[in-house]
């Protein structure tokens, strides 16, 4: 799945609008001066407005990507691209890359 490579400064959100931030990007590979993120990188979701338990299943706390580039690796691990798929926990809703750099493409 081709797309622009996701980096530390990319905007990633849960379906409810919470902001997701990577916990450990790859420090050895940079695009536009920022580290790239890879498939096993976990994201922490902040400010998810989903209601707490009893009204719902609570706000999104983490997001985990399950797909990435098929031909571009960083330290032997597939990099994330704009079309990568992620699932938030504990809600199970998707997380989406809203905006990233537009200079480096990967397949």
Residue-range domains of the chain with CATH = 3-106 (2.60.200.60)
**Start-to-end Cα distance in the chain:** 6
Question: What DSSP string runs through 31-54?
Answer: ETTEEE-BTT-EEEEE---PPPBT
For residue range 24-78, what is the model confidence (pLDDT) as tens digits?
Answer: 999 999 999 999 999 999 999 999 999 887 777 889 999 999 999 999 999 999 9
| CA–CA distance, 18 with 31 (Å, rounded to integer) | 24
Largest alpha-carbon pair distance within the chain? 45
- Residue 23 — very low, low, confident or very high, per pLDDT cuts 50/70/90? very high
- Residue 99 — very low, low, confident or very high, per pLDDT cuts 50/70/90? very high
What single-letter DSSP state applies at residue 79?
B
| CA–CA distance, 35 with 107 (Å, rounded to integer) | 18
């Amino acid at each position: 799945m081709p797309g622009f490579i996701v980096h530390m400064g990319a905007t990633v959100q849960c379906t409810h609008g919470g902001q997701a931030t990577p916990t450990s990007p790859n420090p050895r590979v940079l695009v536009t001066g920022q580290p790239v993120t890879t498939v096993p990188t976990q994201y922490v979701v902040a400010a998810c407005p989903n209601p707490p338990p009893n009204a719902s299943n609570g706000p999104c706390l983490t997001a985990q990507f399950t797909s990435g580039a098929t031909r571009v690796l960083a330290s032997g691990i597939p990099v994330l691209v704009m079309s990568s798929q992620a699932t938030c926990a504990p809600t199970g809703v998707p997380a989406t890359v809203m905006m990233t750099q537009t200079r480096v493409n990967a397949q």
